[in-house]
Chains A and B, each alone.
Chain A
């Protein structure tokens, strides 16, 4: 039982990272029906910016908590700008093109980010500085362990989720986002600036991915230009699992996928871990394509 709870805790901390990336997928898909394959690479860029900021800020002698908050803020801001530029330069000209053309562009952007990263930073992994020293806490006597990093991860995810819920449901831009995702043409007729709303969606999604990137770096202590590929695909699985287009769905999907993966690894099948993620994807697509929290959209004749 304690072992199970331990794995659950580990799973939740991996799942939080998936959930943060999945939010970006789900928001972009909800608004322009695009599987933004470049999203995993925005996560990578965010992680590297976090790495450089943390290194420089720590050298400048800031206290650890300030270093963490500032690195997160810098990384999220730069990635948000990156997300907006990608949307403006690559996706906006294709607003009326076929879906397959947009999908290929997204994969093209993903390659461009990856290999530009390899070109400038080299293919080898780099160490991520330990911003805040890890502390171990024990629960239930001495069997279950939680470290400060895992608490910080869950804390950051929850705070960002609350902020996101606030933006989407209580602000004007959030209202515009919901309107555009419901019916783009009608929203345009109502005087909503659709292009600006889409840019805002990309900005928010990219900022969340960057936050996930910094957290990922702190958890695994190593970042490389190709690190976005697999977490990116799995975050997409998480988004589909929760019901693509649904924000609570992305959170639940991410946590669920992280937990399942950790359980599979802990049972000694770690080389099958990625396979299980995709098997989950196919099962959910076959039996409940709208996902756990998704709306059932009827096909128009």
Chain B
């Protein structure tokens, strides 16, 4: 455990250094506003990808409705700050909890499903949330909410991203995380070994939804406007691609995937006509030539400074 603690603190120190360097670059004006926006977007996507990776990569529950949780967080936090003058950070926490509540709500009935059926059910849930928002006048219907105060700064987003990564990564390394991994590898065997599979699947859904909700709130308070259209199936898919691109089941992979894809999207913005064609071609080629993702299933740790890590296990199937 001593080694684990060491690598944990090393990670925190490195993160702080990264924060400090970027903060200096921002205050001295070397990074402009566009750069700052991109950085914030990267952090939001890292939160989403890391939280989805807990559900999809670690627990093996194939969920493609993550944008649904994000939209709940975005709407709850926006309404709290707009209509009830709740402080920003408190609104974010409540938004996260609301999303987690929906995570449990969605998690429980879908527990009977697995594989493709669960994927389709979560997709259906995501779409239903979108259609409900679309038809609710209180939250602005199709035009959505606007005039949301811009309170997401680099410092706030960095803090929340760090909390997300630390909490989820420590959860994965705890005995609870091992239980989730066991469910992924073989659910029936895990159940036979006395693991409460229902409980852990619900925990994974709730925790994943919690951070997705917070990410949603943070993005709402960055981009002034939210509408149901921005949380559609495409958004869920984008988050899934980040996770798979980096390497399913790897926190480091989810972070790398989120960064690479966000940068790629920002660069491709210059070619609006060809953007999606290039994006989809890269996606197909990536899946054909490196289906395990950029990092395979390597975990997030700094152990490799000391000695080479054991060979990562094969990527999951099913």
Contacts and interface: CB of A to CB of B under 8 A. Distances in A.
B241 interface: yes
B117 A289 contact: yes
Contact of A281 (B120, B276, B318): B120
Contacts of B132: 275
Interface stretch (B17-25, B279-287, B304-312): B279-287
Interface stretch (A49-57, A99-107, A125-133, A169-177): A99-107
Contacts of B237: 107
Nearest to B274: A119
A274 B315 CA distance: 36
B112 A274 contact: no
A274 B131 contact: yes
A300 B124 CA distance: 27
Interface in B259-318: 273-277, 279-281, 283-284, 287-288, 291, 315-318
A101 B279 CA distance: 16
B315 A35 contact: no
A201 to B, nearest CB: 17
Given A104-B244, A285-B121, A301 B288 contact: no
Interface in A38-94: 90, 93-94
B166 interface: no
B207 interface: no
B120 A285 contact: yes
A166 interface: no
Contacts of A90: 284, 288
Interface residues of B, number: 45
Interface of A: 33, 35, 90, 93-94, 97-105, 107-112, 114-116, 118-119, 233, 236-237, 240, 271-272, 274-275, 278-279, 281-282, 285-286, 289, 299, 301
B248 A286 contact: no
B131 A108 contact: no
9 contacts: A97-B287, A100-B56, A104-B240, A104-B283, A104-B287, A105-B284, A108-B280, A109-B284, A110-B280
In the complex, which of the residues B112, B275, B291 has the most CB atoms of chain A within 10 Å of its own CB atom? B291
Contact of A94 (B233, B248, B276, B291): B291
Contacts of B124: 237, 278-279, 281-282, 285
A114 B276 contact: yes
Interface in B145-197: 188
A279 B62 CA distance: 19
B116 interface: yes
B313 to A, nearest CB: 13
Contacts of A274: 127, 131
Interface string B117-138: 1011101110110011011000
A109 to B, nearest CB: 6
B276 A115 contact: yes
Given A90-B288, A101-B287, A105-B283, A111 B116 contact: no
A155 B146 CA distance: 50
B15 interface: no
Contacts of B120: 35, 236, 240, 281, 285
A97 B273 CA distance: 32
Nearest to A101: B291
B109 interface: yes
Nearest to A290: B117
B113 A109 contact: no
B244 A272 contact: no
A260 B119 CA distance: 23
